Amino acid sequence: MSGLAFTRADFPPGFLFGVATSAYQIEGHAQGGAGRTHWDDFAATPGNVVRAEDGARACDHLNRWAEDLDLIRDAGLDIYRFSASWARVLPEGRGAVNQEGLDFYDRLVDGMLARGLKPALTLYHWELPSALNDLGGWRNRDIAGWFADFTETLCRRIGDRLWSTAPINEPWCVGWLSHFLGGHAPGLRDIRATARAMHHVGLAHGRAIEVMRGLGMGNLGTVCNFEYALPRSQSDEDRAAARRYDGIYNRWFLGAMFKGAYPEDVLDGLGPHMPEGWQADMGTICQKLDWLGLNYYTCKRIAHAPGPWPSLSEHIGDLPQTQMGWEICPEGLHHFLHFVQGHTGDLPLYVTENGMANPDSPDAPDQARIDYLNQHLAAGKRAIAEGVPLKGYIVWSLLDNYEWAFGYEKRFGLVHVDFESLQRRPKASYYALRDALAQS
Ligand code: IFM
């Protein structure tokens, strides 16, 4: 078995390493006074989630957070990227505050600082209070104001101690995956809902940044996911389909947040369904940011398909796959580091998520994950050598956890979790990362 092929000294001075999680995936949402979320509703609907599993108990991080932070510190990591649950802070999404929830995040941030970790907060990582979903959720323009108020409530309490903050994790998932493909809560398949959600997510991002700037907070960024779209064949039709996919997935939010404009080729399809007057919001969406985070996992083969826009179908190619059935394609990370730099210039970039699901058992070394990390870190190092301002790399995820529509079956953790006993057991990849970071 071999370990990681790098040490800290292989990266520029000050380069940071971290791990990421999110609230609903680890905390145990049935505890501590949190309100119901649209993920609870989605999971309770037959056919949406493997075995109809939900985040009610998850990894019980709510009670085991100190042990989890110890694991991060003991690996020699710098950053802990975590998220807060809106419904834990505001059970109805607005109005009454759950003090127990605010106290939890307050303790958690202090716990990170006590261990020398940099707290990197994401305000929204996908669990929307059900009461707001009842009002139309991301389809309702008012969500930008509700989100701004939630941002203010939470950041007034913990904003003074955060190292970095991003409003919304993976806007594409909130907009497209949840409203067009129906794969995430609220499980819609409706182009009008999609266009509205794809716009309101950006608007909520912009309003949250304004609120945080108003509170005097710094190091504010955005976390977008990117998927490398390759044409299934070299036919003109397949190449055009891959370009459309790339626009929806990779260029929509980047264009809005950094250029104040949506890509024309995506507006060709979504334009007729956009909310009236959307153009006036572009200035709010395009805020000055301090960094951009890339979440990157895989590539996809795209073919033309008959039918309404976007007239495409998705396919898997011949590269080795992870437990998710995702091809392992580190070349895509290299591509996006350069592509994003084309939009963001000198802005610091971070890989805010990268990692793989593997059917790990606690007793078998997870060499496949070590190899995956080696390949993607090599892609990052190559981009740095070519001038990309990549400043850090964050592994998804610290723990095996609730993988959304796939339930608890897909294991992304550096640390194995037994979902019966909730025992944590570091895997070989955890020790490999710890050993690599300990060498200088
Ligand atoms: O588990 C998710 C996470 O919540 C967001 N990014 C992708 C991960 C793996 O699917």
Catalytic residue among 27, 170, 227, 327: 170
pLDDT tens track for 86-145: 999 999 999 999 999 999 999 999 999 999 999 999 999 999 999 999 999 999 999 999
Band (pLDDT 50/70/90 cuts) for residue 362 is confident
Q: What is the mean pLDDT of the chain?
A: 98
- Domain count of the fold of the chain: 1
Residue 335's pLDDT is 98
Band (pLDDT 50/70/90 cuts) for residue 257 is very high
Token digits of residue 402: 């609730």
Domain residues for the domain of 155 are 8-438
Q: Ligand 1 in contact with 295 (CB < 6 A)?
A: yes
Q: Is residue 22 part of a domain?
A: yes
68: pLDDT strictly greater than 70: yes
Q: Is residue 2 part of a domain?
A: no
Q: Ligand 1 in contact with 403 (CB < 6 A)?
A: yes
Q: Ligand 1 in contact with 227 (CB < 6 A)?
A: no
Instruction: Assess contact for 435 and 5: CB atoms under 8 A.
Output: no
Closest-lying ligand 1 atom to the alpha carbon of residue 295: 6
Residue 86 exposed, middle or buried by CB count within 10 Å (0-12, 13-18, 19+): buried
pLDDT tens track for 405-419: 999 999 999 999 999
- Ramachandran category for residue 199: left, alpha or beta (phi over 0 → left; psi -120 to 50 → alpha): alpha
Ligand 1 pocket: which of 396, 402, 408, 417 to mutate (most atoms within 8 A of CB):
396
| Ligand 1, atom 2: closest residue by C-alpha | 403
Ligand 1 pocket: which of 127, 172, 294, 404 to mutate (most atoms within 8 A of CB):
404
Q: Is residue 423 part of a domain?
A: yes
Residue 1's pLDDT is 60
Predicted TM-score of the model (pTM): 0.98
Closest-lying ligand 1 atom to the alpha carbon of residue 353: 6
- Please count the other Cβ atoms lying within 10 Å of the Cβ belonging to residue 211: 22
pLDDT tens track for 278-294: 999 999 999 999 999 99
Would you call 353 a catalytic residue per the annotation? yes
Q: Is residue 1 part of a domain?
A: no
Percentage above 90 pLDDT, the chain: 98
Q: Is residue 97 part of a domain?
A: yes
- Domain harbouring 416, CATH code: 3.20.20.80
Q: Is residue 3 part of a domain?
A: no
